[in-house]
Structure 1
Amino acid sequence: MTNRALILAALADGPGRLDGPLVARDTELMAAGLRALGVGIHDSGTGSWRVTPAPLYGPASVDVGNAGTVMRFLPAAAALARGPVRFTGDPRAAERPIGPLVEALRVLGVEVSGDRMPLSVFGTGAVPGGEARLDASRSSQFVSALLLAGARYDKGVTVVHDGPPVPSLPHIAMTVQMLRQAGVVTDDDETGRWSVEPGVLTGRCWTVEPDLSNAAPFLAAALVTGGQVRVPRWPTETTQAGAVLPELLTRMGAQTEWTEDGLVLRGTGAVHGLDADLHDVGELTPVLAAVCALASTPSHLTGIAHLRSHETDRLAALATELNALGGRVTETEDGLRIVPANLHGGPVATYDDHRLATAAAVLGLAVPGIMVRDIETTAKTMPDFPDLWTTMVAS
């Protein structure tokens, strides 16, 4: 949500503010990229970022790291800049899909050099816009990128998906909702088709919800240990993918309760397997797979072939690391089959993937001798994870 709010605030008609932004490597990369294009972003030091829009300009150089939102959202916005903008990133960024988005930008009138990272966008200060067809089956971020910047394109933008089902649809729903909150007229009534009319984005205050996907390892910790965890400020209504965690973990044996102080999840001593289509909430897969590996019954996680193109090939990584600990995990065409097994300790590689690191931490609560390699990779979305985890375990 933070990176969407940053883009919308940067393209707005007046100053804006983000209250409670997620402060992590991904969001800091987005803020740095926008600053490089001329946008003013000031950290108040009191939990708010002030954003002062300005005409975007190059030449500029942007480091996208390994952040999907940065490598996809920013080129679509940088197309509005006057001058060239060069995008580079971590080695894995060059392996992650962006081609369909690049081709769509070209159709909309943008000059782009390159089909993968690194690439350059040569802006003229305006984008004609119009309709673009693309295959977003490997990432919903292709759609969100065009919609977020599309209101500033001369003719707006209509995005038509042409391919297998789009994953992570709640993220597109979040994009559409936030555009409407910024005063943009959008149309998402037809499945696989989204339109944004040209117009002004209103500068406003964005109150950023807690990142519910980041809560996954903490909630899972309560389930696998038979303990209790409370997550404050859990929203009653949200478009976040993590909103399904209480339902999924309840199916796996947890008890959940909503109180005035937030969501409370309790473990019952039982951990059941899970048969679930995670196509819309694929980012939850690593932690859920870790819990499934500790379950008493088999699990089948489906609809997540697109995870092979995330920070790492998450399906291969999960199967490799869990099996190295004695697990019985099989990759399928679109997911994982996990059969109960007695796990043993050992090192767990994280592949520079924050979600794999938090999944390994969950395993360590139930399996003695787990050693998580490079826990610092959690800084991608939760730099204080090690301290939060240590505090939770100690309490």
Structure 2
Amino acid sequence: MKRNETDVVVLGAGIVGVCAALHLQRRGRDVVLVDRNGTAGDETSYGNAGLIECASVFPYMFPRDPGHLLRYALNGSADAHYQLSGIPEFLPWLVRYFLASSPRRAAQTAQAALPLIRRSLAEHEALIADAGVPELLRKTGWIKLFRSPKSFAKALGDLERARQFGVVADVLDRAGIAEREPNLTGDFAGAIHWLEPGSIPDPGGLVKAYAALFSRRGGRFVKGDARTLQQEEGGWRVATELGVVTAREAVVAMGPWSDLVFKPLGYRFPLGVKRGYHVHLTPRGNASLQHAVLDADRGYLLAPMNRGIRLTTGAEFARRDAPPSPVQIAQTLPVARALFPLGDTIEPQPWMGARPCLPDMLPLIGRAPRHPGLWFDFGHQHHGLTLGPVTGRLLAEMMTGEQPLTDPRPFSAERFG
């Protein structure tokens, strides 16, 4: 079989893997990007709210409010749902998630992630300029709607804390909501318009544009099976449709499927998944949506996309490969239709994806403790699209001996023993 030699092989062509490949390439490394589909951005990176969340300075931690916990336990909430058949698999992970969500540990997570979150939009802007796709970034921010005065009051408290980190937002009353989104209907206690985040009207298309930039700059993108990764003297090898690729170093950036590589190598990282669904709908008549809008008390988000209005759901806890159960779409679609004049669905079936999550809601970025030349870059939870470019830069800096843009120790594999 033909052998192709390179400096680095990156496994996974979602937003995280493509950006790692780009940053390594920029630093003079010859890189081969390998994905099982042979195309970029078709899995987890495709299905999201399309937000570059540079204002999300507080992580998505496990709620500790008794009312929320009871509602989740009864499986009656649209923003979180679980499959009974998956409980033996995800319950131990949920326990670790709960423990990692204590106020002290949540504060540590926020502090570690802050430099990445706050640099995320700037790193995207640089890549978008290089890729020549300015139309894929809208600087509109997004709006978080509240129906309950209690939840709105809590959000205002969180906003005041976020402002200490330089976050900019407008607080909207009913008139302010109507001014910015005149086609919304409902009884709202108020809203927060997060002004800084970018909005991507085609997340999968953005990843493809980044992958095309990688190829134009001389990178090789091939279809292959990451599960064939093997260590050999002086490096690593993986089978692809063009033959065996050998490299001095390998990067595992396969999102929720990263365990297919790290488990056979003897690592037991607590990688879990939060599954999610979306569906696109046409707007009725001349109705338009200018911003992504989160209906915070109902557990869904509407985002204007090139394909239509995308309705995205909250988290579903289930086995990664279990059959789809889009009950959250069914729960939220009537509420969404009452909020905004939605027409027909565009796809025959809802799309389903899986967010790769570690219990402390921080990605794993860095070298493999027991395998020279092996690196990890996965577990970006709800912020894969947001963090892909900035964590790709951090990883490339570590791999090439540059001064890292932030302390990489909170993201190390060693934190899991």
TM-score relative to the length of structure 2 = 0.23
TM-score, length-scaled by structure 1:
0.24
